[in-house]
């Protein structure tokens, strides 16, 4: 009897161990199936398609590099947009780099939404060419009553130079009041050398020199004009990406904005 009992107990124990082992084996497989199988290429394509639906641009490139130590972990995720529309401007290139990003895979798979839950560090770089700014100004000029305005830009690091020839009728009354002494005819023609600053996605222009209708504008008036116009542009954030522009510098061919 005792023997029989002990055999029964052994059988139950064996069954219990078998169950435990099988649970242990099944669960990791199940949880692995829950986390996405990280094939960089498929994930890149998926993110690219989702962003393509939300962001107006000519081309999107997504680059994912997986961690060598943990193959299921993303080391870096870089997204580049070419000719991306940010507000009224078209940026030549926007590149966003996330280090060790944690992507919300549920949202990505089910809702087809791209969302980064967290990342250790991020870099944003926006390149805007002089031509892109001129196109933006041309667009503004089209909206004017008197379309005889000419504005051109040249980048001379660390300055951005603006050459303008605008009908007086298109100048806001407040500005005109300040420049009253320098208005001779019906046009405001001149030059300005600007240095740029950025803070919390806003762009500021600091004028180092302003010439209007052959007159060098004194510092005090320059300062007042500066206060009147700044910030001169608010940089919209491309949804669903998150970034804050706090740095800008003028380069040979581009205005380079970074976080």
Residues that bind another protein (CB under 8 A): 61, 63, 65, 76, 78, 80, 92-95, 97, 123, 125-127, 156-159, 161, 163, 190-191, 193, 208-209, 211-218, 249, 251-254, 256, 258
| Closest separation in Å from C-beta 97 to another protein | 8
**220, 198 in Cβ contact below 8 A?**
no
Return the number of other C-beta atoms located less than 10 Å from residue 248's C-beta. 21
Using the minimum distance from each CB to another protein, give the nearer residue, 13 or 209: 209
Of 104 and 161, which CB lies nearer to another protein in the complex structure? 161
> Residue 182 class from Cβ within 10 Å (0-12 exposed, 13-18 middle, 19+ buried)?
middle
Of 202 and 213, nearer to another protein (C-beta) is 213
Residue 192 Cβ vs another protein, minimum distance, rounded to whole Å: 9
Nearer to another protein, 134 or 165 (CB): 165
Q: Say which residues have a Cβ less than 8 Å from residue 119's Cβ, sequence separation at least 6.
A: 77, 98, 99, 100, 101, 102
CB 203, min distance to another protein, A: 16
Shortest Cβ 41–another protein spacing (Å): 16
Please name the residues in contact with 140: beta carbons below 8 A apart, sequence gap of 6 or more: 88
Two tokens, residue 38: 């990280």
At closest approach, how far in Å is the CB of 125 from another protein? Answer: 3
Cβ proximity to another protein, 8 vs 59, nearer residue:
59
Give the list of residues 6+ apart from residue 84 with CB closer than 8 angstroms, or none. 55, 56, 57, 58, 90, 91, 93, 94, 238
C-alpha to C-alpha distance for 94 and 158, rounded to whole angstroms: 21
């Amino acid at each position: 009897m005792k023997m029989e009992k002990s055999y029964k107990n052994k059988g139950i124990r064996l069954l219990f161990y078998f169950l435990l082992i099988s649970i242990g084996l099944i669960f990791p497989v199940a949880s692995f199936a829950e986390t996405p199988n990280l094939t960089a290429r498929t994930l890149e394509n998926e993110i690219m398609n989702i962003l393509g639906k939300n962001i107006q641009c000519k081309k999107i490139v997504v680059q994912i590099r997986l961690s060598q130590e943990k193959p299921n972990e993303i080391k870096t995720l870089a997204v580049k947009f070419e000719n991306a529309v940010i507000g009224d401007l078209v940026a030549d290139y926007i590149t966003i780099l996330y280090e060790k990003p944690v992507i919300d895979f549920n949202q990505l798979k089910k809702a087809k939404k791209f969302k980064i839950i967290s990342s250790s560090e991020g870099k944003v770089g926006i390149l805007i060419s002089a031509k892109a700014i001129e196109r933006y100004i041309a667009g503004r000029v089209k909206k004017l009553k008197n379309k005889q305005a000419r504005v051109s830009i040249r980048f001379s690091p660390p300055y951005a130079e603006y050459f303008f020839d605008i009908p007086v009728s298109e100048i806001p009354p407040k500005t005109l009041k300040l420049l009253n002494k320098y208005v001779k005819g019906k046009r405001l023609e001149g030059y300005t050398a600007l240095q740029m600053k950025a803070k919390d996605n806003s762009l500021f222009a600091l004028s180092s020199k302003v010439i209007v209708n052959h007159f060098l504008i004194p510092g005090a008036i320059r300062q007042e004009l500066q206060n009147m116009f700044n910030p001169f542009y608010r940089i919209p954030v491309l949804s669903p990406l998150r970034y804050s522009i706090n740095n800008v510098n003028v380069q040979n061919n581009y205005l380079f904005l970074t976080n």
